[in-house]
Structure 1
Amino acid sequence: MTQTIRVDIVSAEAEIFHGDATMVIATGEVGELGITPRHAPLITRLKPGHVDVLQENGERQQFYVSGGILEVQPQVVTVLADTAARASELDEASAQKAKKEAEEALSSRTDAVDVSEAQAKLAQALAQLQALERMRRNLKH
């Protein structure tokens, strides 16, 4: 029997996922993280991006998070995010529109606060589009 670790992905609105996994892959501030059962305890910030949950049956659950915190304890991995969604529920047209609006705001460069807000929105839109692309690639395999 394969060892598993419990995974909880929670947003400000709801619990998005609760289940067991053989591995969790997430985008940390300093790069990709791969968490497996018996991983050392860890707390780190997440960048806007993907969280993949590999289940014991071989199924891959894919999620988008707007950033947040990843906590690893001996028996559980917890992802706390302001916004989280299953990759399959993302709206590509909305993400493309948000990307375009953020790029336009950055090109006009009106105010330092506006620029940092536009940069954050651009990062989130790009992360959503990347999550959709990862999901499409994994469906082909």
Structure 2
Amino acid sequence: MAELDVTVTSVNRMVWHGKAKAVVLKTVLGDMGILVGHEPVLAVLADGPLRIDTLPEEGGESESLWFAVHGGFFSLDSNVMHILVEYTEMASEIDLERAKAAKERAEAAGADDEDEVEALRRAETRIDVAMAASGKR
């Protein structure tokens, strides 16, 4: 079976490496779905969710891994995909209540402060990813 060899790396750690059948991510030009055999591509990532549909283990099930991604880019060539991000969290690392509280704080601060706008965007991404991973989206 053909497969994608995917590596997710942040500034300070290698986050995930494995085999996948599909990757869905958000670029500055819109959402992209990557399947085996996709043409080579290099793109800038937007803040948003990243979903990796893993290959099933022998006799097992495929699973979808969710990440909140904040900045970065990805490259794909010959079914080898490198996703390099400034900051990312796996859905399992996200505290939904903390993310909701961060969103409320950022909304209360208003849109005048660029840092608060960025904080709001990060909080919304984290909430979206946590909800999607739990099937509540």
Task: Specify every segment of 5 or more residues in structure 1 that has no aligned partner in the other structure, as ranges.
Answer: 110-114
Q: Does 1:56 align with 2:40?
A: no
For structure 2, the 5+ residue unaligned runs are 57-61
User: Which of the residues 124, 127, 133 maps onto 2:125?
Assistant: 127
Counterpart of 1:10 in structure 2 is 9
- Match for residue 107 of structure 2 among 100, 103, 118: 103
Deviation track 1:12-35 (CA, whole Å, cap 9, x = no partner) reads 121110011111111111221111
2:98 and 2:75 mapped to 1: Cα distance? 30
TM-score by length of 2: 0.88
CA distance in 1, matches of 2:70, 2:99: 12
Instruction: Quote the offset at 1:105 in angstroms.
Output: 1.7
Return structure 1 stretches of 4+ with deviation > 2 angstroms.
none
Correspondence 1:1-141 to 2 at 5 A: 2-57=1-56, 58-106=62-110, 109=112, 115-137=113-135
TM-score normalised over the length of structure 1: 0.86
- Greater helix share, structure number: 1
The percentage of aligned residue pairs carrying the same residue is 24
1:39-71 per-position Cα deviation (integer Å, ceiling 9, x unaligned): 111111111111111112122111111121121
State the distance in 2 between where 1:128 and 1:74 align: 31
More strand by proportion, 1 or 2?
2
